[in-house]
Amino acid sequence: MKNKLGRSIYLTEYVMINGIEQFLFHSGTDYDHPVMLFLHGGPGSAESLLAQAFQEKWEELYTVVHWDQRGAGKTLMKNPDKLPTAELMLQDLFEVIQHLKKKYSKNKIVLLGHSWGSVLGTLFIRKYPDEVDYYIGVGQVISMVENEQVGYNKVRELIMQADDRKSLKKLDSVGEYPGSKVTFDKEFLKKVNKVRKLQGKYGLGMKMDMSIWFTVFKSPIFKWSDIIAFMKISKANGEVHKFLGDYDLRDEPSVFEVPIYYILGGKDWQTPYVIAQKYLDEIEAPNNKITILPNAGHMTMMDQPELFFDALREIYDMENSGAEMTELVQ
């Protein structure tokens, strides 16, 4: 693996986590920087292969670690029969954090959760608040059912405004959507695929076009086996999909012990920013802030990398200034 940018921290490793070897990709410029653990989406969609497209400037602030979760990417290929549940992944995450704290001599780490990773990250900070400095949610999931309802209504609205009869016919063919509960069976996956394609057409969701694959192929850690892992996502993550079906963050208390920040795409209707925006107004946390990036969709950090970094730096400065004030008082 070539270290083209000459990073002082640049390595991959398999670590024994919760009984299986799991993949980590580290990149950074200074061992004194805070450690950020990136929790990818999906479940099963390892984003370590996309890191070079958005995180170079992040490493001015953080040592960034990507973890291919159980049931995803290189960890899945290493352990094809060790499949995830939500509870197992929380245990995995706890052990990954212990490994990072020890490796970098840190008391706590920073968590960034994208899409499904925002579910895992939020569950984790509820259960283990003492392990995390602060949490950053991107494509933050509040309710799976409401996500799909709001996203469906928005694309229908735009199709009607455009008098796009061809797209309206495709949307009508989906039938009732999503129903009272999201069930990730073959019928629903066919429906969601149609909805996602139309959302992509109208700039409301993530487009799985060739540009994404070109980014994947150019990754310094890409192997052809990663394509095989991608093809196994649905089957490998069946139990987590069941958990997600009726997931609603509002079913739990709205009090957190960890500062919470959201960086959301103003054109993200796959995990609609309007739902997360309303939720953040209702919670109690030591600190919280929301930044909505214009013209950014579900892949917020790739759609608007400069604006995303500005938001990240603002969060970093807010947290760091607090730490500096504490040191001065002591």
Q: What does the pLDDT look like over 116-136, one tens digit per residue?
A: 999 999 999 999 999 999 999
Encoded tokens for 171:
């949307």
> Does the pLDDT of residue 80 top 50, yes or no?
yes
Q: Tell me, what's the pLDDT at 286?
A: 94
Mean per-residue pLDDT, 10-16: 96
Count of CB atoms situated within 10 Å of the CB of 179: 14
Per DSSP bridges, beta strands 288-293 and 109-114 are unpaired
CA-closest candidate to residue 155, choices 110, 191, 115, 116: 191
Task: Please tell me the distance from the alpha carbon of residue 198 to that of residue 193, in angstroms, as a whole number.
Answer: 9
Omega before 43 within 30 of 0, i.e. cis: yes
- H helices, E strands: number in the chain: 13, 8
Q: What superfamily does domain 9-142+216-329 belong to in CATH? A: Alpha/Beta hydrolase fold, catalytic domain (3.40.50.1820)
With 70 as the cut, is the pLDDT of residue 1 above it? no
- Give the pair of three-digit tokens for residue 225: 């086996």
pLDDT at res. 208: 62
DSSP state of 181: S
pLDDT exceeds 80 at position 229: yes
Question: Which 8-state DSSP code applies to residue 21?
Answer: E
Asked whether residue 197 carries a pLDDT value surpassing 50, the answer given is yes
Q: Of 1, 23, 118, which Cα lies nearest the Cα of 76?
A: 23
| Mean pLDDT computed over every residue of the chain | 91
pLDDT at position 207, please? Answer: 63
Task: Give the pLDDT score at 255.
Answer: 92
Average pLDDT over residues 189-194: 88
Start-to-end CA span in the chain (Å)? 44
Ranked by mean pLDDT, the top range of 6-20, 175-189, 206-220 is 6-20
Q: What is the Cα–Cα distance from 171 to 229, expressed in whole angstroms?
A: 30
The H-or-E segment that residue 167 falls in is helix 165-172
Residue 180: pLDDT band (50, 70, 90) is confident
Q: Say which range, 8-22, 137-151, 217-231, 314-328, has the weakest mean pLDDT.
A: 314-328
Separation CA 144–CA 176 (nearest Å): 16
Closest CA to 68 of 87, 55, 50: 50
pTM: 0.92
Left if phi > 0, otherwise alpha if psi is -120 to 50, otherwise beta: which for 209?
beta
Picking from 16, 12, 21, 17, the residue whose alpha carbon sits closest to that of residue 80 is: 21
Nearest 5°: phi and psi at 264? -125, 150
Q: How confident is the model over 87-111, as pLDDT tens digits?
A: 999 999 999 999 999 999 999 999 9
Sequence spans of domains, the chain: 9-142+216-329
User: Is 66 or 199 the better-scoring residue by pLDDT?
Assistant: 66
Strand pairing category for 63-68 and 35-39: parallel
Q: What is the pLDDT of residues 38-64, one digit of tens each?
A: 999 989 999 999 999 999 999 999 999
